[in-house]
Amino acid sequence: MSDNREFFYRRLHSLLGVIPVGIFLTQHLIVNNFARYGAESFNRAAAFMENLPFRYFLEVFVIFLPLLFHAIYGVYIAFTAKNNVSRFGFFRNWMFYLQRITGIITLIFVVWHTWETRIATAINGTEVNFALMQGILDNPFMLTFYIVGVVSAVFHFANGLWSFAVSWGITVTPRSQVVFTYITLFVFVALSYISVSTLLTFATTQG
């Protein structure tokens, strides 16, 4: 990363994590929660999302490319750090470390999840619906994998919001940073609840 592009890339990485990827993540988790109102509700919501105008354009420019850049540059950033939580066990240092670990877990999960529910289904012409997710999450191993993956992504996003606020100079004082820690903690708990309850609905519905 020569020619003084690093500042630009870093800020782009930070921005893309929230807009659009973080917003997409939040939207995705909330819409999926329709599963709790029953298979029909979920299928209607999924069909609505699938039939959005400009679908491919939106998928490529709002999800795929921003996420691809954030993920590739994120892996580079993650591997430039020499984590030292054993020597410096401070709260923020743990968050720094977890931000990197959850980034890697999220990457593995997202690649698998995209393959399974978007690419493979498109190739095979399988319908993406309640029954598909039910089939996947019926397996306790896959359910665990999904819970770990989704909670990692949510943690990464929530803690990422905190560091986004510092990276852009929004929260400058220690006090504002502490208050924002509580706010992002709330985001983490709320999105975790929304997403895990969805997963458990799929896993526990008989059929």
Partner 1 sequence: MSEGKTVTLIIKRQDGPDSTPYTEEFKIPYRENMNVISALMEIRRNPVNAKGENTTPVQWEMGCLEEVCGACSMNINGKPRQACTALIDQLEQPIRLEPMSTFPVVRDLAVDRTRMFDSLKRVKAWIPIDGTYDLGPGPRMAESKRQWAYELSKCMTCGVCLEACPNVNSNSNFIGPAPLSQVRLFNAHPTGAFHKKERMETIMGDGGLANCGNSQNCVQSCPKGIPLTTSIAALNREATAQSFKNFFGSDYNV
The contact set with partner 1 (CB under 8 A) reads 1-7, 10-11, 77, 79-84, 87-88, 90, 92-93, 95-97, 99, 162-163, 166-174, 177
The smaller minimum CB distance to partner 1, of residues 64 and 69, is found at 69
* Binding residues among 101-120 for ligand HEM as defined by CB under 6 A: 103-104, 106-107
Residues 6+ apart with CB under 8 A from 97: 83, 85
* Binding residues among 6-35 for ligand HEM as defined by CB under 6 A: 14, 17-18, 21-22, 25
Q: How far is it, in rounded angstroms, from Cα 19 to Cα 66?
A: 9
Name the nearest CA neighbour of 150 among 116, 97, 198, 192: 192
Number of helices followed by number of strands (H, E) in the chain = 10, 0
Residue 170 binds which entry of ligand HEM, partner 1, none, CB below 5-8 Å type-dependent: partner 1
Interface with ligand HEM (CB under 6 A), residue from 99, 171, 184, 192: 99
**In this structure, what is the dihedral angle of CA atoms 161, 167, 172, 176, given to the nearest 10 degrees?**
10
Interface with ligand HEM (CB under 6 A), residue from 39, 156, 191, 203: 156
Shortest Cβ 29–ligand HEM spacing (Å): 10
Residue 2 binds which entry of partner 1, ligand HEM, none, CB below 5-8 Å type-dependent: partner 1
Polymer length of the chain: 207
Residue 111 binds which entry of partner 1, ligand HEM, none, CB below 5-8 Å type-dependent: none
Q: CA–CA distance from 82 to each of 70, 77, 87, 108, 166 (Å)? A: 20, 11, 12, 21, 21
Residue 46 binds which entry of partner 1, ligand HEM, none, CB below 5-8 Å type-dependent: none
Residue 172 binds which entry of ligand HEM, partner 1, none, CB below 5-8 Å type-dependent: partner 1
Verify binding: residue 78, ligand HEM, rule CB under 6 A. Answer: yes
Q: Count the Cβ atoms, other than its own, within 10 Å of residue 50.
A: 11
Are the C-beta atoms of 191 and 26 separated by less than 8 Å?
yes
Q: How far is it, in rounded angstroms, from Cα 158 to Cα 150?
A: 12
Are the C-beta atoms of 106 and 149 separated by less than 8 Å?
yes
By CB under 6 A, name the binding residues for ligand HEM.
14, 17-18, 21-22, 25, 70-71, 74-75, 77-78, 99-100, 103-104, 106-107, 153, 156-157, 160-161, 163-164, 167
